[in-house]
Structure 1
Amino acid sequence: MHEVQQLVGGVWVPATASFEVVGPHDGSRVSAVPEASAADVAAAVKAARDAQPGWAATAPAARAAALRAAADALDQGTDELARTMSAEMGKPVDGAAESVAAGVGTLRQYAELGQLHGGRALAGDPGAVDLMVHQPRGVVAAVTPWNDPVAVSCGLLGAALVTGNTVVYKPSERAPATGWLLTRLLAPHFPPAVLSMLSGGGTAGAALAGAEVDVVAHVGATATGRAIALATARTGAKALLENGGSDPLIVDAGVDPAWAAQQAAVGAFANSGQICVAVERLYVHRDVARPFLDALVAAAERFPIGPLVDRRHRDAVHAQVSAAAAAGAGVLTGGVIPDGPGAHYPPTVLAGCTDDMAVVAEETFGPVAPVVVVDSFDEALTRARRSAYGLAATVLTGSMSHAQRAWRELPVGTVKVNAAFGGAPGGAAHPRRGSGQGFGYGPELLDEMTVTKVVHLEAPSTGW
Structure 2
Amino acid sequence: MTLVEPTTSDRLIYDPRTGDVIGPVPQADPAEVDAAVDAARAAASGWAATPAAERAAALHGAAAAVRSAADELTDLTGRETGKPAADARGGVDAGVGTLIQYAELGPVHRGRTLHGDPGATDLMVPGPRGVVAVLTPWNDPVAVAAGLLGAALATGNTVVHKPSERCPATGRRFAEIIAAHLPPDVLRILDGDSEVGSRLAASEVDVVAHVGGTATGRKIRAACAVTGAYALLENGGNDPLVVDAGVDPGWAAEQAALGAFANSGQICVSVERILVHADVAAPFLDALAGQAAAWGGRIGPMVDRTLRAEVHRQVVGALDAGARVRAGGALPDGPGAFYPPTVLEDCTPEMDVFATETFGPVAPVRVVPDFATALREAADDPYGLAATVLTSDMAHAQHAWRSLPVGTVKINNVFGGAPGGAAQPRGASGTGFGHGPELLDEMTTVKVVHLEGAPAQR
Please give the TM-score of this superposition, normalised by the length of structure 1: 0.97
Does the CA contact (< 8 Å) of 2:77 and 2:88 recur in 1?
Answer: yes
180, 192, 207: which one pairs with 1:188?
Answer: 180
Per the alignment, in what secondary structure is the counterpart of residue 272 of structure 2? strand
**Structure 2 gaps, min length 5:** none
Aligned twin of 1:3: none
Aligned equivalent of 1:396? 390
User: Which of the numbers 430, 433, 441 marks the counterpart of 1:436?
Assistant: 430
Which of the numbers 427, 436, 445 marks the counterpart of 2:439? 445
Residue number in structure 1 paired with 2:343: 349
- Calculate the aligned-residue CA RMSD, in Å: 1.0
Paired AA for residue 321 in structure 1? V
Matched, 1:296 2:273: no
SS at match of 1:11: coil
Aligned with residue 412 of structure 1, among 400, 406, 409: 406
8 Å contact 2:234–2:434 — kept in the other structure? yes
The answer to whether the 8 Å contact 1:71/1:104 transfers is: yes
- Selected match of 1:32 from 24, 32, 55: 24
Q: Alignment partner of 1:152: what SS? A: helix
Equivalent-residue separation in structure 1 for 2:354 and 2:64 (angstroms): 42
Q: Give, in angstroms, the shift of residue 184 of structure 1.
A: 2.0
> Using the alignment, how far apart are the partners of 2:253 and 2:135 within structure 1?
35
Alignment of 1:16-415 (within 5 A): 17=9, 19-303=11-295, 304=297, 305-415=299-409
3-state SS, counterpart of residue 173 of structure 1: coil
Q: CA deviation at 1:32?
A: 3.1
Find the aligned partners of 1:144 and 1:210 in 2 and give their Cα distance.
16
Query: Separation in 1 of the partners of 2:376 and 2:134?
Result: 36
Q: Per-residue CA shift, 1:130-180, capped at 9, x if unaligned?
A: 000001000000000010111000000000000000000000010111101
Instruction: Give the drift of 1:14.
Output: 4.7
SS at match of 1:415: strand
Structure 1 distance, partners of 2:285, 2:9, is: 50
Displacement of 1:422: 1.9
Between 18-27 and 129-138, report the one with greater CA deviation: 18-27
Alignment-mate amino acid for residue 135 of structure 2: V
**Structure 2 CA distance, aligned partners of 1:18 and 1:342?**
20
Moved over 6 A (4+): none
1:134 and 1:452 in contact (8 A); partners too: yes
Structure 1, unaligned runs of 5 or more: 1-8
- Taking the aligned partners of 1:150 and 1:191, their CA distance within structure 2 comes to 21
Structure 1 residue 11 displacement after superposition: 3.5
Q: 8 Å contact 1:250–1:283 — kept in the other structure?
A: yes
| Deviation readout 1:397-441 (Å, 9 max, x if unpaired) | 001000001100000000000001021111100000000000000
Give, in angstroms, the shift of residue 27 of structure 1. 1.1
Cα 1:18/1:188, change in 2 over 3 Å:
farther
**3-state SS in 2 of match to 1:193:** coil
Q: Is this contact kept in 2: 1:345–1:367, CA < 8 A?
A: yes
Q: Is 2:414 the counterpart of 1:423?
A: no
The answer to whether the 8 Å contact 2:66/2:174 transfers is yes
Shift of 1:16: 5.4
Conserved? CA contact 1:19–1:35, under 8 Å = no
Moved more, 41-50 or 25-34: 25-34
Indicate conservation of the 8 Å contact 1:251/1:283, yes or no: yes
Task: Tell me the amino acid that sits aligned with residue 430 of structure 2.
Answer: G
Tell me by how many angstroms 1:181 deviates: 1.1
Question: Is the 1:31–1:177 Cα contact (8 Å) retained in structure 2?
Answer: no
Counterpart-to-counterpart distance in 2, 1:14 and 1:149: 20
Partner of 2:451: 457
SS at match of 2:25: strand
Secondary structure of 2:409's aligned partner: strand
Whole-angstrom distance in 1 between the partners of 2:89 and 2:422: 23
Q: Does the 8 A contact of 2:26 with 2:168 survive in 1?
A: no
Q: Counterparts of 1:13 and 1:382 in 2: how far apart (Å)?
A: 51
What is the CA–CA distance in structure 1 between the aligned matches of 2:440 and 2:98, rounded to whole Å? 13
CA distance in 1, matches of 2:22, 2:323: 38
CA shift, 1:461, in A, is: 1.2
1:57 and 1:41 map into 2 onto residues whose CA distance is 25
Note the alpha carbon deviations across 1:61-111, whole angstroms, 9 max, x for none: 000010011010111111010111011011101110001000001000001
State the distance in 1 between where 2:211 and 2:127 align: 24
Q: Distance in 2 between matches of 1:315 and 1:325?
A: 15
**Per-residue deviation, 1:23:** 1.2
Residues 306 and 346 in structure 1, CA contact (< 8 A), matched pair in contact too: no
- Could you tell me how far 1:306 is from its partner in structure 2? 2.5
Of 23-32 and 43-52, deviating more is 23-32
